[in-house]
Structure 1
Amino acid sequence: MKGKKKQTKGGKPAKKGGRSGQWADHLTQKAKSMGYPARSVFKLEDIQNKFQIIKKGDTVLDLGCSPGSWTLYAAKLVGDQGRVLGIDLKVVETKLPPNALTIQDDILKPENPAFIEPHTGAFNAVISDMAPATTGRKDVDAIRSFELCRMALDTALKNLAFHGNFVCKIFQGNDFKTFEQEVKAAFKECRVFKPESCRKQSKEIYIIGKEKIK
């Protein structure tokens, strides 16, 4: 009958995009079974498998690191001789290995002694999975995402070693091409990539900058 909602066996309306939701739920469960707090770990895994952003022994800066999945995965990649420093406005409650440390702070204040104390040299990779609190308005969310990306890129350019790598999540919008050009100007190679583990309907995409030029 027209206008009648599709019912599930339990008599409740079926959710739209069921397959996508089931896929996301599957990845969430898989991440937790592997000891990661969130499914976002698979996004970094996809990026790493394709671009080899992080190497053994690297020093990595993880921006917007809460709840800690990227920090944990990066710590695994760098090994015992490497180090990972994460920073986020939210506290990270996930248990971390000895080669990883997180700080509850603002990335706009990198002069904070706590930010630089664990490392005396530059970072080999700066990774950012930061995203704004969404409003439901795609144009507004894209602008806020762009602002966070500019912060992440500025932090990367100040802290990356020569030939260091950069990963940054951005919401596609009017400023996307502008940000892509800024990354292209600072790195030998710039790639745009959407991990398979991203939700298909999501506007998020990743900019990969390889080998910082200066």
Structure 2
Amino acid sequence: MGSRKDQDSYYRRAKQEGFAARSVYKLQEMDQRYGLLRQGMRVLDIGCHPGSWLQYAAGRVGPGGLVLGVDIQELAVDLPRWGRFIQADVLKLTPAEVLAVAPAFDVVLSDVAPRTTGVRHADEAASLAMLEAVFDLALAVLRPGGSFLAKVYFGPGVDQLIHQVKGRFKLGKGHKPAASKAASKEIYILGRELKNALPQVDTQTEG
């Protein structure tokens, strides 16, 4: 999907517009298509390095919102005052660590990917394990009606997970944005309007 010339144009455009990576245009396309982000929202970005999705989300939610990024690597960008960052292993991140920053989130995003080995089935399995962890975390921190968007390398088990997303959200589907490289096996799993949030620890205090 898209020529090498098109892919290079995404890279050049990202540099010109001050984004940390060309992957920002994948999020932009899906946001425009599915209406994911609005002013004042609280957004969790899991696996956020180098930070282009955080940059975009911060601009969309504005000063009245919140963006929280999580990654095992340090960020390569500066965040606005309504941005936060937790340096942590995605597979070890707990809902309590996230909910310590905000009581609930409107959107959970993830462009996280494992370190690839070149062994297709191993890379697909590692990607699916990450997606499953992100999905479980999203269910624990999203507010009712919230949205979920995460990347996975398509392979065994992905269709089953899409089915789970369809069961928990009013809309669940897979999507491959135009900015994805033609040879890439990646797709994005979308969930719009969480039907019911899982039980959460009450983070409110009296008074």
Normalising to structure 2: TM-score of the pair?
Answer: 0.89
Q: Which residue of 2 aligns with 1:109?
A: 93
Q: Which amino acid aligns with 2:177?
A: P
Q: Which residue of 2 aligns with 1:38?
A: 21
> Post-superposition shift, 1:79?
1.1
Moved over 4 A (4+): none
Q: Which residue of 2 aligns with 1:93?
A: 76
- Structure with the greater relative contact order (CA < 8 A, sep ≥ 6): 1 or 2? 2
Q: Which residue of 2 aligns with 1:68?
A: 51
* Mapped partners of 1:116, 1:88: distance in 2: 16
Question: What are the ranges of 5 or more consecutive residues in structure 1 without an aligned counterpart?
Answer: 1-18
* Mapped partners of 1:98, 1:178: distance in 2: 39
Return closer, same or farther for 1:61/1:185 CA change in 2, 3 Å cut-off: same
**1:151 match: secondary structure:** helix
CA offset digits 1:64-89 (Å, max 9, x no partner): 00000000100111111000000000
Superposed CA RMSD in Å reads 1.5
> Post-superposition shift, 1:152?
0.5
* Mapped partners of 1:136, 1:20: distance in 2: 23
Q: Which residue of 1 aligns with 2:201?
A: none
Q: Which has the larger radius of gyration?
A: 1
1:189 aligns with 2:171: yes
Q: Which residue of 2 aligns with 1:157?
A: 139
> Post-superposition shift, 1:106?
2.2
Identical-residue share of aligned pairs (%): 36
Question: What are the ranges of 5 or more consecutive residues in structure 2 without an aligned counterpart?
Answer: 197-207
Asked if 1 retains the 8 angstrom alpha-carbon contact of 2:145 and 2:193, the reply is yes
Give the number of equivalent residue pairs. 194
CA offset digits 1:142-194 (Å, max 9, x no partner): 11110000000000000000010000101110111111111111111112111
